C-alpha cells in the first residue's frame, strides 16, 4: 500500500490569507485612530489652500487674502500701493522687498519700505546701475501676510 502524500500548498495559502487579513485589520485600526485622535497642531484649512497656504493664512479668517500690491518707480523712489479687496488702503503694515542677485552681479539684499501715506510704502531705489529690480515682496500686518514675486523695470 503506497499512500502518497500530495502537498497542495494548503498551509501556504492559509498563511498568505492570514497576513492579508492582519494587514487589513491593522490598516483599519490605523485609520480609526488617525480619525479620532487628530492633533491640535494640524490646521483643517491647510489642504484647502494648497501651495499658497502660508501666503494668505491668518488665524482671523484669512485677512489679507484679497489684498493687492502694485509696485512702481516714481523718480528715484520705489513705491508700492497696498489695497484691500474693496480698494481701500491697507495701513500699519511692514513691507520688505527681498532682492534677487541680478545678472550684472548686483548683490542681493533687502529693501525696507516705510509708509509715506495711507497704504503707500516707499523707499529710495538702490543706485546700482541696474535697469530692473527683481525679488520677492512680502507685506505683513498683524497675522496677515501677502507675498508676490515682483519685477520693477526702470
pLDDT tens, position by position, for the chain (154 residues)?
566 666 677 888 899 999 999 999 999 999 888 877 766 666 666 666 666 655 554 444 556 678 888 888 888 888 999 998 888 999 999 999 888 865 554 556 788 899 999 999 999 887 766 667 788 899 988 888 888 888 877 6
Residue 45 CB neighbours (<10 A): 9
Residue 115: partners with Cβ closer than 8 Å, 6 or more residues away? 91, 92, 93, 121
**What pLDDT is attached to residue 149?**
84
Q: Classify residue 51 by its DSSP letter.
A: G
Task: Please tell me the distance from the alpha carbon of residue 96 to that of residue 138, in angstroms, as a whole number.
Answer: 5
Residue where the block lists cell 542677485: 101
**What pLDDT is attached to residue 94?**
92
Task: Please tell me the distance from the alpha carbon of residue 23 to that of residue 107, in angstroms, as a whole number.
Answer: 56
Task: Please check whether residue 106 is in contact with residue 128, taking contact to mean a CB–CB distance below 8 angstroms.
Answer: yes
**What pLDDT is attached to residue 122?**
93
User: pTM of the entire structure?
Assistant: 0.55
- DSSP H or E run through 29: helix 10-36
Amino acid at each position: 500500500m503506497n499512500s502518497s502524500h500530495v502537498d497542495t500548498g494548503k498551509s501556504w495559502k492559509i498563511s498568505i490569507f492570514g497576513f492579508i487579513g492582519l494587514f487589513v485589520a491593522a490598516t483599519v485600526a490605523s485609520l480609526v485612530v488617525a480619525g479620532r485622535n487628530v492633533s491640535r497642531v494640524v490646521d483643517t484649512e491647510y489642504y484647502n489652500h494648497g501651495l499658497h497656504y502660508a501666503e494668505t493664512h491668518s488665524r482671523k479668517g484669512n485677512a489679507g487674502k484679497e489684498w493687492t500690491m502694485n509696485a512702481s518707480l516714481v523718480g528715484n523712489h520705489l513705491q508700492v500701493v497696498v489695497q484691500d479687496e474693496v480698494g481701500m488702503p491697507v495701513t500699519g503694515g511692514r513691507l520688505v522687498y527681498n532682492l534677487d542677485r541680478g545678472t550684472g552681479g548686483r548683490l542681493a539684499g533687502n529693501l525696507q519700505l516705510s509708509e509715506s501715506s495711507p497704504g503707500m510704502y516707499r523707499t529710495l531705489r538702490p543706485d546700482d546701475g541696474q535697469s530692473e529690480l527683481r525679488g520677492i515682496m512680502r507685506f505683513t500686518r498683524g497675522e496677515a501676510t501677502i507675498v508676490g514675486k515682483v519685477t520693477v523695470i526702470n
